Structure 1
Amino acid sequence: MGEHKESLRKIITTLALKNEEIQNFVCCLKQSLQNLEANSTRVQDDLESEFSSLHTVLNELKDGMLTRVKQERASRTYELQNQLGACTKALESSEELLEVANQTICSAEADGFTQAAKDIKDSVTMAPAFRLSLKAKVSDNMNHMMVDFTQEREMLLAIKFLPVPATPEILVSECQVCDNTVMVTWSLPEADSKIDHYVLEHRRTNHEGPPRAREDYPWMVLEGIRETEHTLTGLRFDTRYINFRVKACNKAVAGEFSEPVTLETHAFTFKLDAGSSHQNLRVEDLTVEWDSSGGKVQDMRKDKNRTNSPMHSPARCAMMSPKRTPSARVGRDRFTAESYTVLGDSMIDAGQQYWEVSFDKESKAFAVGVALRSLGRFDQLGKSNASWCIHLNNWLQQSLTAKHNNKARTLECPIPDRIGVYCNYEEGTLSFYNAKTKFLIHTFRTKFQQPVIPAFMVWNGSFSIHTGLQVPSIIQSGQKRNSGTSSSNASLT
């Protein structure tokens, strides 16, 4: 009976999920119908507007060209009419003079003939007919204002809907993830001169493989990209992967998104374990302030469900490394006495990890490093074989020292505002850098027998941690060059 009920419950669950999927799909179809109606109306209105604009341009061009033809006709008419009037007057004067000459030559009086002939000769010399140009000032040919719209007509007949841009393809082999930046590269199946820009979307995820329908993080949109690659900078990798997709756009329409790709963003992410810290430290997820009154004890009592184990910390619940397993400080309370210590909530048991810490340089004392889980509740960082650190002493004069197993070495270097910590677990390397300049401050070389945890100490001061950072390329290359050399600090390891 029980087995049948359990089987029926599974069937009911499956049917309920399927019904929910169908309901969601029905909603999507209804929304698509509404979108189709709205989009088709918008496209029709845009088409009407474009043709109206084209008609306006053609009419304006026609009116301008007709005006030029009328102006040319009026100008030539004026010139020809003036020339015609002058010729008509000259012709009338010449005809009168011809009649006088005929009358004179037919006259029989010899006395006045000589003088009359002389007067006619003078009149002919000054006659307008002999000063006229018998060539038209302007031509009646208007062929220079003819038009041939053959090419333009072909262009107009070639008008058609703008093609939808092809779908780009992200070139995973050419994408790069380093130094907390991601360079994404893509290409089109064939060149398209009408592409105006690209839209790139990315979203954080903890899931490998194709993107899921439901994700905890939304797509972030980057528009107006003109090239076929883009670099995202200033990222904090607090998830294991990032999804990317891209689409091409021309002046009017966007194409389909490319197939999403998933790029791994390996980085060490952790928070501070408030449950294990000294009571005089007021601990948030990523920051610590000195509280001489021990007021943090009251804060902890408010959260009765919180344990002293990093197993239940928010950071470990958010993203568990597949190579790590939580390990509680079994049988140990918080740090006490002069061990003003707080640990990270995630262990390092493999790979290369990097994080940074900003601290108040006015702190009376500050330390950063790593420790084993076996670090005692009274142990101060660097004063046992279970911890390695660099320590800032700010009493009579400022000094920076490297400490391990109750041995110390003074470090002759400027004290930075922000320290980078690099841990290579397999090689047993723990290095400290000026986070801004990447100048190497100190390196411990040892062999870690157990997993280690980021560890911090502060007295009369404050600090904050920066995680989700990849190992900087300059540090990786520097470590490779120095991997075959002996450490100058070997006496502390």
Structure 2
Amino acid sequence: MGDQKEALRKITHTLAVKNEEISNFVCSLKQSLENLEANSNRVQEDLESEFTALHAVLDEMKENMLTRIKQERASRTYELQSQLSAGSKALESSEELLEVANQTLCSSETDGFTQAAKEIKDSVTMAPAFRLSLKAKASDNMSHLMVDFSQERELLQGLKFLPVPATPEIQLSECQVSDNTVTVVWAMPEPDSKIDHYILEHRRTNHEGPPRVREDYPWMVVEGIKETEHTITGLRFETRFMTFRVKACNKAVAGEFSEPITLETPAFTFKLDSGSSHQNLKVEDLSVEWDSSGGKIQDIRKDKNKNSPMHSPARSALMSPKRAPSARPGRDRFTAESYTVLADTLIDAGQHYWEVRFDKESKTFAVGVALRSLGKFDQLGKTGASWCIHLNNWLQQSLTAKHNNKARTLDCVIPNSIGVYCNYDDGVLSFYNAKTKQLMHSFKTKFPQPVVPAFMVWNGSFSVVTGLQVPSVVQSGQRKNSNTSSSNASLT
């Protein structure tokens, strides 16, 4: 009976997985149909717009050419009409003079003939007909304004859809993830000189496989990439993976996206556990501010949050196995002068790094790690259950490394931000100037139990930066110091 139930459970699980795959496929097909309709309308509108623009150019060229013909005709008409008018007047004057000359020649009178002949001769000499040019000032030939659009016609008849760029292929083996920076490298199946740029999209995900139809995070777009690789810097890895895809674009059209690839982005993420904090600390997810008004406001906030989605069973079921419960089992929150708050995520293996930015005017501030069993009255560094760097602004400013109620003054500049490196397996806890990555202090110990990031502040504030990978310079420095004896042995 038990074997049959187990077999049925396996079959049911397989069927459920298959149903989810089919459901995702159906959703994908529906989305593709919607995209097809929208994209078809878009390219049709683009085509009509292009032809309208082409017609506008042709119409403008036609108007310009017609204007040129009209201007040329008007200019030549004026010249020829001017010559015609002058010629007509000259001809009329010449005909009149010719008639007078003929009448004089035919006259039988001899008296006054000599004088009349002389006058006619003078009139002929001065006649407009003899000053008139008999060559037309303008040609009636307009062939220089003829056009031949045979080449253009062939060009227009050769119009066709611009070839879509091929789909790039991301070179997974050449992609790199380090120092919260991702470099993605891709290649084209064959050279394409018409490619103008590439578009790279990426999004966070907690799923290792191919992208699902319903993802929790949107695609982020990087446009105008000219090379076949791109580096994204300044990232915070708040999920386990990042998915990437890329497409090529020419001047008019974009190709299809490449097959998406998923890169693992390991980093340490946590939030501050308000259930552990002192009542005088106003705690948000990753920031703390001293609140002298005390516990009444905190109690009201706690009551309001009891039934919030953050505390729902469904959300709790999705939490990481290392995520510590929001309230410390069997203990109250920190109290008295232990102005402490812990993170909600345990460290029980591996190497981790986070940073904290703090108000250097805080009366006191401390950052480090602690066991979950740290007592509610215990202050960081004053018991064997915690290791920290402690800033004191009371009377005189000092920076010390503390553990088990032992302190060592640190001779270094107090930075604005501290980086914390924890190598649980090797028992190393190091503190760095977060900006310069200069080592401030290292503890070498053996953690008896899993630890959590721990913070303390009085009359001040701080904020935590998580989702960070261990910086390469920190890892390199740790390797160099791995074979040297610790100068802080008295504090371990």
Give yes or no for TM over 0.5. Answer: yes
Note if 1:71 corresponds to 2:71: yes
Residues 278-357 of structure 1 aligned to structure 2 (within 5 Å): 285-288=285-288, 318-319=319-320, 338-348=337-347, 351-357=350-356
1:443 aligns with 2:423: no
Q: Secondary structure at the match of 1:71?
A: helix
1:465 counterpart = 2:464: yes
Partner Cα distance (2:12, 2:394) in 1: 70
Question: How far has the Cα of 1:300 moved from its partner?
Answer: 7.2
1:146 paired with 2:146, answer yes
Residues 123 and 199 (structure 1), Cα distance of their counterparts in 2 relative to 1, 3 Å cut: same
- Residue ranges of structure 2 left out of the alignment (5+ in a row): 308-312
Q: Deviations over 1:411-434 (max 9, x none)?
A: 355544432223355676543334
Q: Which residue identity does 2:204 align to in structure 1? A: R
Kept in 2, the 8 Å contact 1:203–1:217? The answer is: no
* Structure-2 change in CA distance of 1:113 and 1:62 (3 Å): same
Letter in 2 for 1:247: K
What is the match of residue 266 of structure 1? 266
CA shift at 1:243, angstroms? Answer: 0.6
Task: Map 1:290-439 to 2 at 5 A.
Answer: 318-319=319-320, 338-348=337-347, 351-371=350-370, 379-384=378-383, 386-424=385-423, 429-435=428-434, 437-438=435-436
Compute the displacement of 1:106 (Å). Answer: 7.5
- Corresponding residue SS for 2:239: coil
The letter for the 1-side match of 2:136 is A
Counterpart-to-counterpart distance in 1, 2:476 and 2:132: 98
In structure 1, C-alpha distance between the alignment counterparts of 2:271 and 2:425, rounded to whole Å: 23
What's the Cα RMSD here?
4.5
Give, in whole Å, the separation in 1 of the partners of 2:458 and 2:36.
Answer: 65
With over 3 angstroms needed to count, the CA separation of the structure-2 counterparts of 1:150 and 1:115, relative to structure 1, is same
d(CA) in 2 for partners of 1:129, 1:490: 128
Secondary structure class of the residue paired with 1:91: helix
| 1:282–1:288 CA contact under 8 A, matched in 2 | yes
Contact 1:201 1:219 in 2 (8 A): no
Matched residue, 2:454 = 455
**Structure 1 stretches of 5 or more lacking a match?**
306-311
Q: Distance in 1 between matches of 2:305 and 2:445?
A: 38
In 1, are the aligned partners of 2:432 and 2:440 still within 8 Å (CA)?
yes
Contact 1:358–1:463 (CA<8 Å) still a contact in 2? yes
Aligned pairs for 1:238-277 (under 5 A) are 238-249=238-249, 253-273=253-273
Check conservation: 2:420, 2:431, Cα contact below 8 A.
yes
Look up the equivalent residue of 1:264 and give its one-letter code: E
Deviations 1:194-220 (A, max 9, x none): 656654332212333x42426652332
Tell me what 2:87 maps to: 87
CA distance in 2, matches of 1:469, 1:140: 85
Q: How does 1:168-179 map to 2 (within 5 A)?
A: 168-172=168-172, 175-179=175-179
Contact 1:383 1:407 in 2 (8 A): yes
- Does the 8 Å CA contact 1:431/1:440 hold for their aligned counterparts? no
Q: State the Cα deviation string for residues 266-324 of structure 1 (Å, max 9, x = none).
A: 2221233456556765655434455775566897799999xxxxxx9x89964468xx9
Partner of residue 162, structure 1: 162
- Counterpart of 1:120 in 2: which secondary structure? helix
For residues 373 and 27 of structure 1, what CA distance do their matches in structure 2 show? 45
- TM-score, L = length of structure 2: 0.77
Aligned CA distance change for structure 1 residues 149 and 238 (closer, same or farther; 3 Å): same
Residue of structure 1 in register with 2:58 after alignment: 58
Aligned residue for 2:256, secondary structure, equals coil
Task: Tell me if 1:213 matches 2:212.
Answer: yes
Match of 1:308 in 2: none
Does 257-266 or 181-190 show the bigger shift?
181-190
SS in 2 for 1:219: coil
Deviations 1:355-413 (A, max 9, x none): 12233445432211234567666654333555432112232233222223443233355
Change (3 A) 1:72 1:4: same
Quote the Cα distance in structure 2 between the aligned partners of 1:16 and 1:122: 124
Partner SS state of residue 58, structure 1? helix
Q: In the alignment, is the contact (CA less than 8 A) between 1:277 and 1:340 conserved in 2?
A: yes
Deviations 1:154-188 (A, max 9, x none): 22112122333322233445544444343444444
Mapped partners of 1:443, 1:381: distance in 2: 16
* Pairwise CA distance, 1:41: 5.5
Aligned equivalent of 1:309: none
* Paired AA for residue 393 in structure 1: N
**3-state SS of paired residue (2:431):** strand
Report if the CA contact (8 A) 2:354-2:421 is conserved.
yes
Distance 1:298 1:51 in 2: 67
Alpha-carbon distance change, 125 to 192 in structure 1, aligned in 2, over 3 angstroms: farther
TM-superposition CA deviations, 1:243-286 (whole Å, max 9, x none): 11123445665432111112232222123345655676565543
Q: Secondary structure at the match of 1:141?
A: coil
Query: Which amino acid letter does the alignment assign opposite residue 422 of structure 1?
Result: Y
